[in-house]
Structure 1
Amino acid sequence: MRVGLTLYGSLDEQSGGFRYDRKLVEGLRAAGDTVELVELPWRAYHRGLLDNGSRSLRQRLDVAVDVMLQDELAHPSLVRTNRTLSYPIVSVVHHLRASEPRRLTPLYRAVERRYLDTVDAAVCNSQTTESVVTDLGVDRTVVAPPAGDRFDPEISHRDIDERAREDPLRIVFVGNITPRKGLDTLVDGVAAADADIALTVVGSPADGDHVEAVRTNVRERGLSDCVSFAGRLSDDELAATLDASHVLAVPSRYEGFGIVYLEGMSYGLPALASRAGGAGDLVTDGETSALVEPDDPAAIARELERFATDRDRLAAMGRAARDRYEAHPDWAETTARVRRLLADVAGTTGVSA
């Protein structure tokens, strides 16, 4: 097949969504498909909407493909432009703005509904995302979750058991530091917990005001000795940090999937995650994770205290997390699911899994 992929920014960017797109392109090419990239400049939301009257954008999208994949993140620039395109379109949906509790959520929902009305099908990273997409009117979908094999470490149940006995309880947060990721709530939970805890924050300061507010809260609560900001780490540095941790805590206000939980599980780390969004597709409360409501630092404090005081439970959940990681579909299976949908939408034949 001749496949296109339209996205904002560069395929080489480092977030989980871009890694998904990159691995999908690699898989399609390995299967013999040609993939043409259409990389659009990053836009503020209102500026992206103005792109829909752009002749140059229309010309950039005039490519010879059997089917075009579009990263849904670029939907502001495509919501009207799509109606002028001649090829079938499949949207890759990692995360819908309409799913987040924002001031402008009604606007985002209206625009995303109109965008999804222009596509022929959607690739969804979780069953939760698929449910939201179908509610917005798309009836042709496939759930193709990302694999979490970024590190794929060698770690045994015995390693997990031995690490669980070590003090203090080592918590790691991994993600771009934005309000949606819930670092502020996590810090409040650490402050309220009656336990010896060391929290390492890994991630780029994507929202400067939010980062400064969190740092100020850490100082004012006297947490500077137990909360450290590592910034963005190389893969080797992040791997070492995950290997040395006990729990991965990212209590997001919403996640479409949350590949970081799976990457933590590869190291036998139970997840402390929010019930909002797709995390529940991947982690099981009380078995491989502790799920809390968004914006509930008291619940976070209780779960951290349980991890700190019951190390047998911590070890058991770590073993279960590692086992769940090993049972998760790999990129080959994800790519095969997507290729079957693309072939169906494009009307091509002879595509095998």
Structure 2
Amino acid sequence: MQKLVFAYPGDIDTPTGGYGYDRRIIAGLQALGWQVELLPLGPGFPFPSAETLDDVRRKLEDLPSETCLVVDGLAYGVLAEAAEAVSRRMTLIALVHHPLCQENGLGSDNAEDLLASERQALSFARHVIVTSAATATQVEELFTIPKEQITVILPGNERQEPVLRQPSETLKLLAVGTVVPRKGYDLLFEALKELSTHQWQLDIVGGIDVDPKCYLSLLVQVDACGFADCITFHGAISPDELSGFYRRADVFVLASRYEGYGMAYTEALAHGLPVIGSGGGAVRDTLPEEAAIYCGTENVGLLREALELMMSDRVKRSTMAEAARVAALKLPSWEDAATRFADVLKVAKT
């Protein structure tokens, strides 16, 4: 039986795309016969306390030699010292969802520190798994990791039953993502500000506790724009509840400043939703032209135009919804992703 230790920061049940990827890969590996030991690394990443770092070093040092160890990138990028130590006697794999130094809202000092730390840590990895081609390019260029040491394993997708959406005078918009500056909710609100002649409702699903300052700022913006009756923050919810939101929505929109991949976009496509999105190369590569409108990055004007089109053209929405269903059928499954992950681990161990 193949064995693996999967190390992760925080709570693996956190309802975000990154943790969701981890959970599905772990479940897929187990279904393939792998014995997966979960190793929690503690809270506070990517800025853990000294006590947490000391505890992580002890946990990793206690692992047997020849262990196959996968470490989630949210923690891995700040574990250079520990990575160097264990890399001498283990197969060390880094799973990078997106570079830590690319997170929005970092001060220049923090960004530079994370860049240096992640570059050093990744130099000790036997192999690096990333979740998009765009992230692979960033890892290669930012951290000088050879292309042959990087493998792209796209997130999987679940097939969904077709949804028959009833016409309504109020367009139901859905945005899914943790409430942090990177998700661009402020940009979305700005784009919606001049569309008051249309009837719309925006539901936002995603944790509100990660960055309380950002959440409070958005509440102020909602009030200033007069959107109190139009926008609802639902916080973090279960996967079953989330599927219900996708099925009740008419259009998916997310104004991200950056995404390592953007699982919410493909989940929206799987539910037959037209998509309005932004967030750099990974998002642009993910969104099919027939089913989505890509709005670049931080382009409020394009966001507004796309939203107005969806609000005013029911035929266009219907056409894009059908294209979304077709595009979703071409997306990889989680079984595909887990099989590829297993293949990378087997090769890395040899």
- 2:6 corresponding residue in structure 1: 5
Distance (whole Å) between structure 2 residues aligned to residue 143 and residue 236 of structure 1: 28
**Partners in 1 of 2:232 and 2:14 — Cα distance?**
25
Q: Which residue of 2 aligns with 1:34?
A: 35
Q: Is the 8 A contact 1:178 1:211 kept in 2?
A: yes
How much does 1:93 deviate?
1.0
Map 1:117-196 to 2 at 5 A: 117-135=123-141, 136-139=143-146, 140-149=149-158, 152-155=159-162, 159=164, 163=166, 165-193=167-195, 194-196=197-199
Q: Is the 8 A contact 1:186 1:251 kept in 2?
A: yes
Quote the RMSD (CA, aligned, Å). Answer: 2.0
Aligned to 2:82: 81
- Note the 1:1-353 alignment, pairs <5 A: 1-47=2-48, 54=54, 56-61=55-60, 62-64=62-64, 65-85=66-86, 86-101=89-104, 102-104=106-108, 105-135=111-141, 136-139=143-146, 140-149=149-158, 152-155=159-162, 159=164, 163=166, 165-193=167-195, 194-205=197-208, 206-285=210-289, 287-347=290-350
- Report runs of 4+ in structure 1 exceeding 4 Å deviation: 48-52
Matched residue SS, 1:327: coil
TM-score by length of 2: 0.90
Please tell me the residue identity of whatever aligns with 2:229: D
Which amino acid in structure 2 is aligned with residue 290 of structure 1?
A: I
Superposed displacement of residue 292, structure 1: 1.3
The TM-score normalised by the length of structure 1 is: 0.89
Q: Shift in Å at residue 34 of structure 1?
A: 1.6
Shift of 1:46: 4.4
Question: Post-superposition shift, 1:275?
Answer: 4.1
| 250-259 or 12-21, which deviates more | 12-21
Residues in 2 aligned to 1:75 and 1:244: alpha-carbon distance in whole angstroms: 38
CA-CA distance at 1:323 after TM superposition: 1.4
Take 1:275 and 1:47, find their aligned partners in 2: how far apart are those partners?
27
Q: Deviations over 1:171-202 (max 9, x none)?
A: 11111111111111111111122532211122
- Taking only the aligned residue pairs, the percentage that are identical comes to 26
Find the aligned partners of 2:83 and 2:237 in 1 and give their Cα distance: 38
Alpha-carbon deviations, 1:93-151, whole Å to 9, x = none?
112122334323222222111111111111111111111112222221211111132xx
Structure 1: how far apart are the matches of 2:330 and 2:313?
A: 26
- TM-superposed deviation, 1:48: 5.2
Cα distance in 2, alignment partners of residues 336 and 252 from structure 1: 30
**SS of the residue 1:273 aligns to:** strand
Asked if structure 2 preserves the Cα contact closer than 8 Å seen for 1:66 and 1:346, the reply is no
Q: How many residues align?
A: 337
8 Å CA contact retained: 1:192, 1:298: no
Give structure 1 stretches of 5+ with no counterpart. 348-353
Larger deviation, residues 240-249 vs 37-46: 37-46
Contact 2:78 2:114 in 1 (8 A): no
SS across alignment from 1:195 = coil
The answer to which of 99-108 and 322-331 deviates more is 99-108
Q: Deviations over 1:298-320 (max 9, x none)?
A: 22111111111222111111111
Do the aligned partners of residues 207 and 297 (structure 1) sit closer, same or farther apart at CA in structure 2, a change above 3 Å counting?
A: same
Deviation at 1:219, TM superposition (A): 1.3
Letter in 2 for 1:227: I
* 2:315 aligned counterpart, secondary structure: helix
- Offset at 1:45? 4.0
